[in-house]
A and B are shown apart, each in its own frame.
Chain A
Amino acid sequence: MPMTITEKIFAAHCGENEVKPGQLIEAEVDIMMCHDVTTPPAISMLKNAGIPPIFDPDRIVATPDHFQPAKDIKSAELLKRFDTWCRENNLKHYYPVGKAGVCHALLPEQGHIRPGEIIVGGDSHTCTYGALGAFSSGVGSTDLAAAIATGSLWFRVPESMKITLKGSLKHGVFSKDIVLDVIRQIGTDGARYMAMEYVGDTLAELSMESRMTITNMAIEAGGKNAIMAVDDTVREYLKGRLKNDAPYNEYQSDPDAEYASFVEVDCDKLEPLVALPHLPSNGKPIGEVKGMAMDQCYIGSCTNGRIEDLRLAAQIMKGKQVAIRTIIVPATPDIWAAALKEGLLQIFYDAGCVVSAPTCGACLGGFMGVLAAGDKCISSTNRNFVGRMGHPESEVYLASPATAAASAIEGKLTDPRPYLN
């Protein structure tokens, strides 16, 4: 039977020759991603249930990120529970404060994601890793606890949606605009329960980082996972990076594999998009919304807090002054260090930005840039739900780091293209 990449990965992990959409299976999990908000409850659950706590400590990659460094006393206590557990269990892949970064930027960067593997994480944006040809999906604390304890988890094999990217992105248009367009087309539940498989000529033009921006936001369309086949860009990215350098499995979808639905993005025609409050599916071309006054700009997060994003923001801000408070959050310590070395931090300082330590921070209304009632924020993050970045009466506008940076300079929603000439 012809199968998609996602189906092939599941079949290989449940000891079957083939699996079908809708089938319930028990599959081996290769990596469990653990962070400070959802893991402490999982640890408590395991203790309370009297289940032997860890199936294989080497499969766990742990980093605090949401509220690190601790934002208040309660989160300090969560972080302490997390830290104690990681140390007591001698986790080999633990990134304590100082090494810690936004999980979905950190795990691929540090070589924990291998094509063909199954990764679950206690965070909805775990779908990011599909850019490397792996199955990855966000789960709750109970699922995470079960995977930690047993090394496996139940799954319903998802139907697949084929998303074809054709053409070339024009100057000033980025992968964030692609994914905002997909979500605009299909809606926030358009891919509910589904595997979102990206194919098409445009992919070859996209860097690994740009691809991760697309897979990162699968959950914003309700997707179970996003996946892209391994190509030379992936192979090159993984060279010398993988913690486990045994050969990995590259899966391709069969030409006659079945898809439940099809979506197409014509990248030639795509313009910079801004998703207006309060849904990621409210994408509008910048031309329709430019001029709207903003109070804050936020560039960071697992969606767009990588070095490529910071370079782009710095290119736009160099020699200019921001007109609104602007917060730059490098997603990992290595990205922070690269930004320092490349002189990007100086550019941000000169432009009047605040540069924070790596953290999820204000993306989810935690700290380091939380919004007041009535505040409008142009943000390179992933969600603009009511209250997402602070007060329920604040507003979040989602866009690429370029659109966010240009808007920071003008103090209003701004087309980034003139700034990139």
Chain B
Amino acid sequence: MATAHVYKRDNVNTDEIIPARYLNTDDPAELATHCMEDLDKDFMNKCKPGDVVVCGDDFGCGSSREHAVWAIKGAQVKAVIAQSFARIFFRNCINCGFYPIELKDAVNLINDGDDIDIDLVNGVIKNNTQGKDIKFNPLPEFAINIIDNGGLLKHISKKQ
């Protein structure tokens, strides 16, 4: 059971997810205190561990800073559901063992505050508030393997 925090916005960029003024640290817990700060100052007050962020197209565009993923993971967000993701952010999620869920029309299928559950294996989002099951395309097997191994470096260690 997770609460969806929906931002009906495209192009939410890495400067909004974690502003560069906080990049003088790489500590996820410290980064988390500023998570989404320039998008929604109140985000960290609203977001409970296990909650989900829902956005429009091109989520995570801009910088290559993995700090954006660490801030979100550090805030104990369970997943980001976006209509599409910027390339480097998408890659960084997989490499960090964090699941980026691509879902067409996400901001219209899920309302702010909806209670949802995510079934990663079968590719289903249960919208408990609306009583609907929403299917999404799971990631390619290659990426799921990396996530299941706990991220790219653990994946490489296993191979070596």
Contacts and interface: CB of A to CB of B under 8 A. Distances in A.
B62 A124 contact: yes
A38 B25 CA distance: 10
Contacts of B92: 140, 142-143
B88 A142 contact: no
Nearest to A73: B24
B78 interface: no
A237 to B, nearest CB: 26
B139 to A, nearest CB: 12
A71 B62 CA distance: 23
Contact of B152 (A78, A146, A193, A388): A146
Contact of A383 (B15, B86, B153): B15
A142 B152 contact: yes
A139 B15 CA distance: 16
Interface in B108-160: 140, 142, 151-154, 156-157, 160
Interface string A44-64: 111001110000000000000
Nearest to B159: A150
Contacts of A352: none
Contacts of B11: 188-189, 279
B93 to A, nearest CB: 9
Nearest to B39: A386
B154 to A, nearest CB: 7
B154 A139 contact: no
B6 interface: no
B44 interface: no
A40 B152 CA distance: 17
Interface residues of A, number: 52
A138 B88 contact: yes
A51 B142 contact: no
A38 B156 contact: no
A385 B96 contact: no
Nearest to B25: A74
B64 A138 contact: yes
A150 B38 CA distance: 37
Nearest to B10: A189
A189 B24 contact: no
A269 B62 CA distance: 29
Return the 10 tightest CB-CB contacts between A and B, nearest first: A140-B66, A74-B24, A140-B92, A142-B95, A189-B58, A138-B64, A41-B26, A124-B64, A364-B20, A75-B24
12 contacts: A49-B153, A66-B23, A67-B23, A124-B62, A140-B64, A141-B26, A143-B91, A146-B153, A150-B156, A383-B62, A388-B15, A390-B21
Interface of B: 10-11, 13, 15-16, 19-21, 23-26, 38-39, 57-58, 61-67, 69, 84, 86-88, 91-92, 95-96, 140, 142, 151-154, 156-157, 160
Interface of A: 24, 37-38, 40-41, 44-46, 49-51, 66-67, 71-72, 74-75, 78, 122-124, 126, 138-143, 145-146, 149-150, 154, 188-189, 192-193, 219, 222, 224, 279, 364-366, 370, 383, 385-388, 390, 392
